[in-house]
Amino acid sequence: MRKVGCFPDWESYGIVISAMCRVRKCDDAIELVKEMVVKMSLSPRQGVVVKVLAALRANREMRKAGEMIEFLENEGYGVGFESYELVVEGCLECKDFILAAKVVMGMTEKGFIPYIKVRQKVVEGLIDAGEWKLACTVRERFASLSS
């Protein structure tokens, strides 16, 4: 955007990113989010983050969704419950239980507790995938949160 002489604010970025998500140009939307955060030091709204993650989920690109959450957290921007939940549910749909466990662990570190059905599906999926040690670790984390 800066290349064409436009100095956008967070709302301008949000409009362009939302439009890209509607047509499922996820890679371009992710790049704009990164530009917004790194180069412009602007904080993306939760609604914009949710739209990008929902588009990634629709494209079944859950690895990129997990990386985006990790990027935002590393840059110091808070990611809301809805964003985490979208990614976990997308991972479960794609049968990527290990990534789902990673996202759930990050979610619980922030104090968010996934819904009971999601917790059960993550643990059961890990066991079915032969990852019983990871399933035990995730289950212990849930137990430590009194859930």
Phi, psi of 144 (to 5 degrees): -70, -20
Spans of all domains in the chain:
1-79, 88-147
- Give the pLDDT confidence of 63-102 residue by residue, as tens digits: 999 999 999 999 988 899 999 999 999 999 999 999 999 9
**How far is Cα of residue 18 from the mean position of the Cα atoms in its chain?**
16
First to last CA, the chain: 46
- Give the pLDDT confidence of 13-27 residue by residue, as tens digits: 889 999 999 998 999
Q: What is the mean pLDDT of residues 104-115?
A: 91
Residue 7 has pLDDT above 80, yes or no: no
CA atoms within 13 Å, Cβ hemisphere of 129: 18
Residue 147 has pLDDT above 60, yes or no: no
